[in-house]
Amino acid sequence: MAIPTDLFDLTGHVVLVTGGGSGIGKACAEAMIRHGAKVMIGGRTVEKLAGAVEELNRLADGQPCAAVRLDVADDASAQEAVAETVTKFGGIHAVVNSAGVMCKKPTFELTGEEVNNLYNIHVTGALRVSQAAGEHFKTQGSGCIINIASISSFMSLTEVTAYACAKHAMMGLTQSLANEWAKHGIRTNGIAPGFIPTDINRKMIEGTDRGRRILEHTPMARFGTGDEIAGAAVYLASQAASFVNGITIPVDGGYLASGIGDSVAPWAATTE
């Protein structure tokens, strides 16, 4: 197989990004466009999508971004979003499953309905979109699925049990699809962001005791950005990751590697 000059070039690729109107999803969409892809962003809030499309279309010539209303909790909506992507851009080559919600409350107070809602959006929602896109991938003999998991796929956090359960399951979904669909030329991988302030968690971690403790256990001593997650998404969608399948990559500033050592918190006292 000939090695392309630019392993990260996505020219000619079409990518559907769920939850693409803001946060990590929008950052992934921007990065894909900057590397040559055409991107369809999906989400439930039409106004947010419209603003994101306007912004993203300033990045390159030819209107590389469009939007589709997408509710990942609805089977028909997932099918329609994939179909509209194919109609608009002439095909589909990758999916980034980034749609998500948060539920923070003491686990004693958590209801089964709340757990099922998060599971339905994060896990079953990702499955719905992957199945719809996977039919096209199977026909063309290639395709890429990127699931946005979480640092909580690997470790526990207090009072976000429903979210953590869903993100653990998302990593399991990634491995299952990677194992079963590789024979169709479909690669499935995940990204586990560390602590990235977004609309669903900013109030939990910025300027809070929880955020202080997170930074104390992050060797890089800061929160991450959506752009830093998007770089991993470009890698996984590109030829550079052509033999990468079934892995979930933590992008966390060293949080999972942190043990007992010197304090790395920005406010920590220093000694000479």
> Pseudo-torsion of CA 141, 190, 9, 225, nearest 10°?
160
Judge whether residue 259 has pLDDT over 80.
Answer: no
Read off the pLDDT of residues 193-207 as tens digits, 9 standing for 90 and up. 999 998 888 988 899
When pLDDT is averaged across residues 12-25 and rounded to a whole number, the result is: 97
- Maximum average pLDDT range among 44-48, 63-67, 266-270: 63-67
Which pTM does this prediction carry? 0.93
Cα 132 from Cα 18, distance rounded (Å): 13
Read off the pLDDT of residues 116-157 as tens digits, 9 standing for 90 and up. 999 999 999 999 999 999 999 999 999 999 999 999 999 988
Judge whether residue 270 has pLDDT over 50.
Answer: no
Read off the pLDDT of residues 231-243 as tens digits, 9 standing for 90 and up. 999 999 999 999 9
Confidence at 4, pLDDT banded by 50, 70, 90: low
Phi-psi bin for 185: left (phi > 0), alpha (psi -120 to 50), beta? left
Let me know: does 237 contact 32? Beta carbons within 8 Å.
Answer: yes
Residue type, 112: G
**What are the structure tokens assigned to 148, written together?**
């946005």
Residue type, 200: I
> Pseudo-torsion of CA 17, 232, 60, 187, nearest 10°?
-60
Q: In percent, how much of the chain has pLDDT > 70?
A: 93
By mean pLDDT, which of 7-21, 102-116, 204-218 is the weakest? 204-218
Judge whether residue 269 has pLDDT over 60.
Answer: no
Read off the pLDDT of residues 75-85 as tens digits, 9 standing for 90 and up. 999 999 999 99
Cα 254 from Cα 170, distance rounded (Å): 21
**What are the structure tokens assigned to 220, written together?**
């890089």
Which CATH number describes the domain made up of 14-248? 3.40.50.720
Element (H, E) at 38: strand 38-43
Judge whether residue 17 has pLDDT over 80.
Answer: yes
Pairing of strands 186-193, 14-18: unpaired
When pLDDT is averaged across residues 61-89 and rounded to a whole number, the result is: 97
Q: Mind telling me the catalytic residues?
A: 163
